[in-house]
Structure 1
Amino acid sequence: MARPQEFNREDVLEKAMSLFWNKGYEATSLTDLIETTGLSKSSLYSSFGDKHAVFLAAYDRYRAARASEMNAILERGSAREAIETFFRKIVSDAKATEFSDGCMSTNQAVEMAPHDPLVRHRVDQDFKLIEAALARAIERGRTDGSVGDAVNPVRLARLFVVAFPGLQVMVRAGSDIDRLDDALTLLFSHLN
């Protein structure tokens, strides 16, 4: 009879997520995972499989949490305010900490997606999810009067999705916050 798990799976995934988010997949060793999660090598393998499986489970946890956070932000207040809050939060989060780990999905779009189909699929899903959420917010803005109606909501959302990882990368690279704020102001002018 197999021994029952003697750890909290969600706690382990949270720790693994933070580790992968900060260091990236390739730079995270099995030793790092064992030390960070407190699991033995055998417990890690029997509970999750290999390092890649732990990563995918941790990444999926990240994705679910961020999707929930994004939807909560984009559904509050006027649509324009919600969209601006969503993007400005990227910059304000960077101001609040000395170093930003950026968006894990953007990080993985660069690190893993080019050669890992499972990660590529998740990254693609994330960008489509952001596009759909922004398109809904833009459509809501057209209704509440906070967004102009000159551009198709889906096409405008696509533009904003292209800007999203660029902003994330610039923040992670430590770019000047005032320049990023200026770029956001120009991006938001497309909502007029």
Structure 2
Amino acid sequence: MARPREFNEDEALLQATRLFWSKGYEGTSMSDLLRVTGLSKSSLYDTFGSKRALFLAAFEAYRLERMRVMRGYLQSGTTAYDAIAAFFAMVLEHARAADRPFGCMSCNEAAEMAPHDEEVQNLIERDFDGMETAFAEAIERGHGDGSIPLENDARQFARFLNATHHGIQILARTKGNVERMDDAVTVTLRALRSVG
């Protein structure tokens, strides 16, 4: 009879996710992973298979949680415009937080791995598509509640919001000027309410 695992797999994945998010795939060593997860090499391989498999599981866990939080924000608020503004306020808050200086894991890996790793490129494209769709749905809700002009094409503005989000994340990763991030969001939200 197999012995039960003596560690929390979800906690180990969470710690690995934070490490990959912080240091990137190439910058994360196996010894780093063993240290933060508290696993032995054999336990890590038995549970996750390989460093790459652990990275892909970590990326998927990050993506699903980020989408859950994003949809929660975008489906709340008195109006869709208010919901989008609240989402970007949260993004700015996280970008400024000293304990979250990592930007967005998807953006980080888009720069690090996607140019030479087709599987990761496809995962990031799926992630960006999911964000775009969530923004487009919120904008369509804004058309219905009157907070966003009907003339503003939902898909085009969703791509605009996506680009703003990713730009802020790059600035956060590089410890960019907070005023730049604030101004980008201010102009983006103003454009969303203007007739395009």
TM-score > 0.5, shorter chain as reference: yes
Task: After TM superposition, give the deviation of residue 34 of structure 1 in Å.
Answer: 0.7
Deviations 1:20-77 (A, max 9, x none): 1111110110011111111111111111111000111111111111110000000111
Secondary structure class of the residue paired with 1:5: coil
1:161 aligns to 2:148 (yes or no): no
Secondary structure class of the residue paired with 2:73: helix
List alignment gaps of at least 5 residues for structure 1.
none
- Aligned match of 2:188: 187
Percentage of matched positions with identical amino acids: 45
Deviations 1:78-130 (A, max 9, x none): 11111112122222123232661111111111111112222111111111011
Q: Do 2:115 and 2:121's aligned partners in 1 also have CA atoms closer than 8 Å?
A: yes
Does the C-alpha gap of structure 1 residues 34 and 164 become closer, same or farther in structure 2, counting only changes over 3 Å? Answer: same
Give 1:43's aligned amino acid: S
Deviations 1:155-181 (A, max 9, x none): 110121122211110122222222221
List alignment gaps of at least 5 residues for structure 2.
none
1:65 aligns to 2:65 (yes or no): yes
- Aligned match of 2:11: 11
- Aligned match of 2:175: 174
Q: Do 1:102 and 1:169's aligned partners in 2 also have CA atoms closer than 8 Å?
A: yes
Higher mean displacement: 70-79 or 164-173: 164-173
The whole-number CA distance in structure 2 between the counterparts of 1:104 and 1:95 is 16
The whole-number CA distance in structure 2 between the counterparts of 1:39 and 1:4 is 14
The TM-score normalised by the length of structure 1 is 0.94
Secondary structure class of the residue paired with 1:24: helix
Secondary structure class of the residue paired with 2:90: helix
Q: Do 2:16 and 2:33's aligned partners in 1 also have CA atoms closer than 8 Å?
A: yes
Q: Do 1:12 and 1:37's aligned partners in 2 also have CA atoms closer than 8 Å?
A: yes
- Aligned match of 2:22: 22
The whole-number CA distance in structure 1 between the counterparts of 2:105 and 2:158 is 20
- Aligned match of 1:47: 47
- Aligned match of 2:81: 80
Aligned length: 192
Secondary structure class of the residue paired with 1:26: helix
Q: Do 1:99 and 1:172's aligned partners in 2 also have CA atoms closer than 8 Å?
A: no
Higher mean displacement: 64-73 or 171-180: 171-180
The whole-number CA distance in structure 1 between the counterparts of 2:187 and 2:124 is 26
